[in-house]
Amino acid sequence: MGEVYRIKVKTENFEIEVEGPSKEFVETYADKIMKQAEQPAVSAPASPAVEKKTTRRRGRPRKVTEAEVEVKAPEGAEVAITEENGEQVAVVTPKTKPRKRKSSKAKASSAMKEAEASAQEAELIDPEQVAAAIKNSEYYPIIKEKVLDARNQLNKILVVAYYILKTYNRRPATVGTFEAITEALGVGLKSSNISTQIKKRLDLFDTVDVKRRRVVKGYILNKNGVNFVENNLLKAD
């Protein structure tokens, strides 16, 4: 068997090994390959750009050529180069963040917290503070004689509402708050009796909805109520 000559040809784009029966054959063939590699590639004239409308299927990766990867791959997408039918293709898999949805339990909890916060904001009334405001008032001797020691329940409620208005401006109070204040004054009235008395004279109160675990009524002494208290319950006979 004769000698075999080999020579390795390496260019910027590829590397190849040439093998032949003689040194002259190998060098001639290698020289021919080098010259072909140095010649600029002749490209076909560019055709007018045509916008292609494609339909993307959710859940399947979009395939693009390697030249498109740098331009069209979205930021943060995973790009994998594979070979198909002798051509390189890039498989682009976009990364999407899953949407976080509140569960029904979380929604209910959030709604309850909002309702409780609204209730706290609507009625932050300290019964002891209102009772102290009444006892420390210059009108207390008159209030004690004409209202607290008397049997009329409505007058007690009106005086309490008057001092809530003076202490907390127009903050609504529920019947439960009225009950707690009358207890602090030592003349405790039941919520049911308070509700009945207020409903008899709604012309003296403004009524608003107070949100708690359920919507309850809150009461604010209006201008008519203020005039009634000042002209009838804070004046000595």
Q: Which residues, at least 6 apart from 29, have a Cβ–Cβ distance to it below 8 Å? A: 18, 20
Residue 134's SS3 state is helix
The mean pLDDT of 137-147, rounded to a whole number, is 93
pLDDT value, residue 53: 54
**3-state secondary structure at position 229:** helix
Positive/negative CA dihedral, 197, 148, 206, 210: negative
Looking at residue 212, its pLDDT comes to 60
Strands, sheet with 87-93, edge to edge from the N-terminal-most edge strand? 62-65, 87-93, 78-84
Do 173 and 124 meet the contact criterion of CB atoms below 8 Å apart? no
Calculate mean pLDDT across residues 120-146: 86
**Where residue 237 falls among pLDDT bands split at 50, 70, 90?**
confident
CA distance 173 to 124: 9
Residues 96-108 have pLDDT tens digits of 666 666 566 665 5
Question: Averaged over 155-181, what is the pLDDT?
Answer: 92
- Give the H/E segment covering residue 28: helix 23-38
- For residue 121, what are its two tokens? 């904001």
Q: What's residue 105's pLDDT?
A: 62
The DSSP letter of residue 38 is: H
pLDDT band (50, 70, 90) for residue 128: very high
> pLDDT (tens digit, 9 = 90+) per residue, 28-82?
777 777 777 666 655 555 555 555 555 555 555 555 444 444 444 556 556 565 6
Alpha carbon distance, N-terminus to C-terminus of the chain: 143
Higher pLDDT, 210 or 135: 135
Report pTM. 0.49
* pLDDT winner (highest mean) among 5-14, 72-81, 113-122: 5-14
Which tens digit of pLDDT belongs to each residue from 170-216? Answer: 889 899 999 999 999 999 899 999 999 999 999 999 988 876 666 77
User: What is the residue-wise DSSP string for 137-201?
Assistant: STTHHHHIIIIITSS-HHHHHHHHHHHHHHHHSS--B-HHHHHHHHHHTT----HHHHHHHHHHT
What single letter denotes the amino acid at residue 24?
A: E
